[in-house]
Amino acid sequence: MTTHSITVTVNGESVRRAVQARLHLIDFLRGDLGLMGSHVACEHGVCGACTVRVDGAIVRGCLVLAASLDGASVETIEGVSDRGEIRDLQDAFIARNAAQCGFCTPGMLMCAADLLGSNAQPTRAEIREHISGNYCRCTGYQAIVDAIETTALKRVSSDAGGAKP
């Protein structure tokens, strides 16, 4: 059993750990760092519950080896929450009841934040397409689409409002 020493920036903090070669990113976050917000639900890349950011881009955490992340920067739901980066999106999820059991929610939020970062005014179809790799058994998706759409609209209108003198 080989272990690898890695230094990774997780939610802005540098951590150094020895990890087993086969350990995937989510088991590393949960098991080694106690960051339980990232979930695994299929461990074969299909459900999206494990969506986290590596070097700014969303990935399936279950399909990334922790050992391969020496020098990388990882952000999880805990990090983006603590920084307040997606407060508006989270509030919209709460107001719209876009989370039921909440198991898909961290991955769904990471995926939604990714969309809003690259497309400020997505259509409903574009929202549905972007989250089409994130499985939610509870909501039927509509509330999630609504919450993302509302957040986008609010961001655009507050940007416009902010530009005025």
Partner 1 sequence: MKAPDFIYCRAESLADALRLKAEHGDQARWLAGGQSLLAALAFRLSEPTALIDISRIDALRGITFDAGVVRIGAGTTHTALGVSDIIRRHVPLLAEAVPLIAHAAIRNRGTIGGSLAFADPAAELPACCVALEATLIAVGPKGERRIAANAFFEGVYATALRDDELLTWIEIVAAQADEQQTLVELTRRSGDYAMAGVAAVLRGDAAEITHARLVFFALGDRPVAAAKAAALLVGKPLDEAQVALAATASAQEIDPAGDLNGGPEMKTHLAQVVLSRALRQIMTQAKAKAERTAA
Partner 2 sequence: MSAIIDPAALDRPNSYIGKSVPRPNLPKLVEGRGQYVDDVVLPRMVHVAFVRCPHAHALIKRIDAKDALAVPGVLRVFTGQDLAVVCDPWVAVLVHLAGMKSAPQYPLPLVRATWHGEAVVAVVADTRALAEDGVSRVLVDYDPLPAVADMETALAPGTPLIHPELGDNLCFQRINESGDVAAAFKAAHKIVEATFHTGRHTGVTLEPRSILADYNKGSGKLVVHHSTQAPHMMQGVFAKQLRMAEGDVRVICVDVGGSFGIKVHVYPDEVATVAIAKLMGRPVKFIADRLESFGSDIHARDHRIHGKMAVDAEGRITAIDIDDLTGIGPYSVYPRTSAIEGNQVINLVGGPYDFANYRAKTTVVLQNKTPTCQYRAVGHPIAVTVTEGLVDLAAEALGMDPITFRLKNLMRDDSYPRTSPAGMKFEGLSHIKSLGRLMDMIDYPALRAEQDAARAKGIYRGIGFAAFIELTNPSPFMYGIGGARISAQDGCSVRIDPDGSVVAATGVTEQGQGTEGIIRQIVAEAVGVAVGAVRVITGDTQNTPYGGGTWACRGAGIGGEAALQAGLATRAAALEVASAMLQAHADTLDIVDGNIVDRATAIIRMPLSELTRIVYFRGDTLPPGLPRELMQTRHFITKEYPFAFTNGIQACWLEVDVETGLIKLLKHWVVEDCGRIINPLLVDEQVRGGVVQGIGGALYEHCAYSPEGQLLVGSMADYLVPMAAEMPDIEVGHIETPTRESLLGAKGAGEAGTAGAPAAIMNAINDALRPLDAQVLAQPFSPERILQALGKVPMRG
Ligand X SMILES: Cc1cc2nc3c(=O)[nH]c(=O)nc-3n(C[C@H](O)[C@H](O)[C@H](O)COP(=O)(O)OP(=O)(O)OC[C@H]3O[C@@H](n4cnc5c(N)ncnc54)[C@H](O)[C@@H]3O)c2cc1C
Tell how strand 13-20 and strand 57-60 pair up: unpaired
Pick from 18, 21, 36, 46 the residue near ligand X by CB under 6 A: 46
Q: Residue 80 or residue 110: which is nearer to ligand X going by CB?
A: 110
Q: Is 141 in the site for ligand FES (CB under 6 A)?
A: no
Pick from 8, 19, 50, 112 the residue near ligand FES by CB under 6 A: 50
Q: How far is the CB of 50 from partner 1 (least distance, A)?
A: 9
Q: List the 73-75 sheet strands across, edge first.
A: 13-20, 3-10, 73-75, 51-54, 57-60
Q: How far is Cα 26 from Cα 99, in angstroms, rounded to an integer?
A: 21
Q: How far is the CB of 164 from partner 2 (least distance, A)?
A: 31
C-alpha 5 chain-centroid distance: 25
- The residues of the shown chain that bind ligand X, judged by CB under 6 A, are 45-46
